[in-house]
Amino acid sequence: MINGHSDITCTAFLGTRMVASGSLPSVTSIVKERLEDRELLQLLIFDDSTGKQIDVHFRGKTDDLAADESPRRAGRPKLGVVSGEVTLLPRQWEWLKGQPGGASVTLRKLIDEARRAGEEQGKIRASQESVYHFMTAVAGNFPHYEEALRELYSGDMDRFYDSMEEWAPDIKSHIKKLALDAFPKRNPG
């Protein structure tokens, strides 16, 4: 199997045609069974969470396939504490020291609050980046590509989708999937 990569969901394209979508082991198995070796050379597989291309070597049996990704670095446990340096003015340190729980507890609370407040913007930004990476790889030469990118980042969903009118159906469909969180939510009104 694809060692350590079974949790990645991805989509495979041969030209403008979507060939398979799902977990990385499932997608690699499907394309290995359905496509000829010469087609595998033209196949592009994209990580659905980032829109970036994943390199998979199709040598050997399906069970031996391996994705080329950076190995995970050893580090502190998932729930462990990571130390770092923070530079503050003296008055800020004094305020932190006077807070219940001390500086560390207060900083963690402030960070968590800021993360919650910026969560929607973060989702929008991450979705836009996924769309950007995928579009750049497969649609860079398509008509109205630059216009579509401008509309993506300006937040104009209708004009974004209108600019892709002439694009291949599988490409448009995958972009719509990646762009689910790319635009601010509309308030009913």
Which comes out higher in pLDDT, residue 163 or 4? 163
Closest CA to 18 of 34, 37, 36, 2: 34
pLDDT at 58: 79
Cα–Cα dist 23/189, whole Å: 39
Give domain status of residue 29, yes or no. yes
pLDDT (0 to 100) of residue 125: 93
How buried is 84 (Cβ within 10 angstroms: 0-12 exposed, 13-18 middle, 19+ buried)?
exposed
Domain assignment present for residue 78? The answer is no
Any domain includes 164: yes
Structural domain harbouring 59 = 9-68
Same domain? For 172 and 158 the reply is yes
Q: Are residues 111 and 132 in the same domain?
A: no
In a domain, 83, yes or no: no
Interval 70-98: pLDDT, tens: 444 444 444 556 677 888 888 988 888 88
pLDDT digits (tens, 9 = 90+) for 93-137: 888 888 888 888 888 888 888 887 778 888 999 999 999 999 999
When divided into structural domains, the chain yields a total of 3
What strands, in cross-sheet order, belong to the sheet with 66-68?
17-23, 9-14, 43-47, 53-57, 66-68
